[in-house]
Amino acid sequence: MMKLRYSPASPYVRKVSVVAIETGLEARIERVPTNVRASNGAFYRDNPLGKVPALVTEGGESLYDSPVICEYLDSLHDGLKLFPPAGGPRWTALRRQALADGIMDAAALIRMETMRPDNEQSPSWIAHQQEKIGRGLDALEDEAATLSGTCTIGHIAIGCALGYVGFRLPHFDWRWGRLELARWFDAFSTRASMAATVPRDP
């Protein structure tokens, strides 16, 4: 069995969970709930950075972060690859993953900032992160028409990023002015792997 350290609301973990379902590997993965805030020597041996997701392979090697884990899982099955093997489609999928991961990063930073006491928060810094999310979503709206077609890691990452922004930053109303992207997301969200991994508070 592989071992996946996770927390329930993490969008990065969700990417790995969706990939595990899409590749049929779910039954080979034991899920280990991990509190990233509690100091934990065994966790830090699996990931010295103290972040989830972290995957321990059946051979005992620890892998992180989510792009590495997702590509590793994709190497373990013989079906259609979520990471296109070479050429233009590969770079497009990887760029989309990077864009989606960056949106998650900015949303997670805002989430952490807004959990601080009011007088320790920086509104200009929150606005700076919000602008990244806005530009990222606008870029996705521009390419939404090209998102139909074979599911790749890019699609999965975008689905998880949009799910997270809607979950943690509902006031941001990402759908406003992004009808194509919203339509794509609603259709993509009906995939069994996405429906089974909707974020929730612990």
Ligand X SMILES: N[C@@H](CCC(=O)N[C@@H](CS)C(=O)NCC(=O)O)C(=O)O
What is the contact surface with ligand X in residues (CB under 6 A)? 7, 10, 12, 36, 50-53, 65-66, 101, 108
Residues constituting the chain: 202
* Minimal distance, residue 180 CB to ligand X, in Å: 26
Binning the chain into helix, strand and coil, the percentages to the nearest 5 are: 60, 5, 35
Between 13 and 144, whose beta carbon lies closer to ligand X? 13
* Minimal distance, residue 176 CB to ligand X, in Å: 25
Between 125 and 177, whose beta carbon lies closer to ligand X? 125
Residue whose C-alpha is closest to residue 2's, from 61, 81, 74, 66 = 61
* Minimal distance, residue 179 CB to ligand X, in Å: 29
DSSP helix/strand/coil, 196: coil
Between 14 and 81, whose beta carbon lies closer to ligand X? 14
Distance of CA 106 to the CA centre of its chain: 12
CA distances from 106 to 4, 39, 64, 101, 173 (A): 24, 24, 19, 9, 15
Phi-psi region of 142 (alpha: psi -120 to 50; beta: other; left: phi over 0): alpha
Please provide the DSSP assignment of 45-88 as one string. HH-TT--S-EEE-TTS-EE-SHHHHHHHHHTT--SS-SS--SSH
Between 69 and 147, whose beta carbon lies closer to ligand X? 69
* Minimal distance, residue 53 CB to ligand X, in Å: 6
Between 36 and 76, whose beta carbon lies closer to ligand X? 36
* Minimal distance, residue 21 CB to ligand X, in Å: 18
Q: Which residue is nearest to ligand X (CB)?
A: 65
